[in-house]
A = this chain, B = another copy of it.
Amino acid sequence: MRKIIEELEPSPIRTIANSAIDNKDVIPLWFGETDIITPKFISDSLKSALDKGHTFYTSNHGVHELVETITEYTSKLHKNTITSKRIMVTVGGMNALMISAEAIINPGDKIICITPVWPNFMRCIEIMGGNVIEIPLILSESHNKWKLNLEEISKKINGARGLYISSPNNPTGWMMEKKEHKIILELCRKNKIWIIADEVYERVVYDRKVAPSFLDIADKNDLLIVINSFSKSWAMTGWRLGWITIPDGMLHIFEKLNEFNIASPAAPIQHAGITAITEGEDFISDMIKKLSQAREIAIKNLTSFSKVELPASSAAFYVFFKVKGVTNSESFCINTLRKSGVGLAPGTAFGKGGNNWIRICYAKSPSLLQEAFNRIKPVLS
């Protein structure tokens, strides 16, 4: 076994969750998914695809109609012309991240990662023999808000192969503004380095239709890879369907990577993806209403607990908070699981500086969520 793989940090969330994954008494707020079963119109579409015999290999690019549907959706959403040769379907956002790493990272390459962030792409970098250079967000004390450390990014960008950034951000709920996208894009253009932008939470926003995206402003020739997924927008985490937006002229290369990684996502699931996009806007609106209510419950509870420090957040379905006196968030999460039966995610999972932070995914029903807060109130007050 490769040393690098043996030593690859496992997901601390998985490590804690595995100990109690079959325990029905635990309220699981650790994973990044809602408790909403995928809506029936999407499941019906899969059933219909099976009835039509869509059970064979598809092209590496993806089922033609799905690629066209994603192309139109993305172009409209970002008011930019994206051609279908810049879109390729993937097995969720994860597979899109792994093939991005394979495409650009040679052993020893440095990739800047803006943290805290969902850690999986950092592990992809390591699998490919690259080096992760973390540049944490700064918590502006005065505004209690997360912001980019542009000074540090400017200093370290020279000599890097790429920059990985995820907005709306898991775990902080931070959302990058348009002017910051412009600054990052210009900086990366000047230094000719890749941007890998994980935008899977672009529809999980509370004051607009879609989050600002690099796709709003980038040209077709920018060294930009945007990761997207059906998981969060259409409650399809278990379906493993996503897509990648790539620069013009590179499809034939990414198709090879699909061929040699997964061939393609499952054929009937690709057909259901068409329906998710074309008929899913009402579902997204309803889901955002529910999430908005859950968000209020989470913020109201947490701000009332004396030991909790909660920065402002504006998107995704997480709250990321500090607990006074806690110096090891993994032990804290294990103890809280034992004592209160609530599954929390330790901040250590998301890169440097997360050691006394905790993430909660609040995408649960109001009653279950309130029950969880009632249970953990004693340890947080």
Interface positions of A (Cβ within 8 A of B):
1-2, 4-6, 8, 10-11, 14, 18, 21, 31, 33, 37-38, 43, 46-47, 50-51, 53-60, 91-92, 94-95, 98, 102-107, 120, 123-124, 127, 129, 235-241, 250, 252-253, 255-257, 259-269
11 residue pairs bridging A and B, Cβ less than 8 Å apart:
A8-B253, A10-B256, A10-B259, A37-B53, A43-B51, A56-B237, A94-B260, A129-B129, A239-B266, A239-B268, A240-B262
Which of B11, B102, B129 lies in contact with A5, CB distance below 8 A? B102
Q: Is the CB of A256 within 8 A of B5?
A: yes
A267 to chain B, nearest CB (A): 3
Q: Is the CB of B60 within 8 A of A14?
A: yes
Which residues of B lie under 8 Å from residue A107 when comparing CB positions?
107, 129
Which residues of B lie under 8 Å from residue A127 when comparing CB positions?
102, 257, 260
Which of B38, B104, B106, B240 lies in contact with A265, CB distance below 8 A? B240
When C-beta atoms are compared, the residue in chain B nearest to A126 turns out to be B260
Which of B5, B14, B266 lies in contact with A266, CB distance below 8 A? B266
Which residues of B lie under 8 Å from residue A31 when comparing CB positions?
57
When C-beta atoms are compared, the residue in chain B nearest to A235 turns out to be B55
Chain B CB count within 10 A is highest, among A21, A105, A257, A259, for A259
When C-beta atoms are compared, the residue in chain B nearest to A120 turns out to be B260
Q: Is the CB of B106 within 8 A of A8?
A: no
Which residues of B lie under 8 Å from residue A269 when comparing CB positions?
266, 269
Chain copies in the assembled complex: 2
A375 to chain B, nearest CB (A): 22
Q: Is the CB of A104 within 8 A of B240?
A: no
Which residues of B lie under 8 Å from residue A261 when comparing CB positions?
94-95, 98, 261
Which residues of B lie under 8 Å from residue A262 when comparing CB positions?
91-92, 94-95, 98, 240, 262
Which of B37, B55, B260, B267 lies in contact with A124, CB distance below 8 A? B260
Q: How far is the CA of A260 from the CA of B125 in the complex (A)?
A: 10
A117 to chain B, nearest CB (A): 14
Q: Is the CB of A123 within 8 A of B43?
A: no
Which of B1, B57, B123, B253 lies in contact with A250, CB distance below 8 A? B1
Which of B18, B235, B264, B268 lies in contact with A59, CB distance below 8 A? B18
When C-beta atoms are compared, the residue in chain B nearest to A21 turns out to be B59
Given contacts A56-B33, A95-B262, A262-B94, contact A256 B123 (CB under 8 A): yes
Q: How far is the CA of A43 from the CA of B92 in the complex (A)?
A: 22
Q: Beyond A5-B253, A92-B263, list 4 extra A-B contacts (CB 8 Å).
A: A4-B106, A92-B262, A123-B256, A240-B262
Which residues of B lie under 8 Å from residue A5 when comparing CB positions?
102-103, 253, 256-257
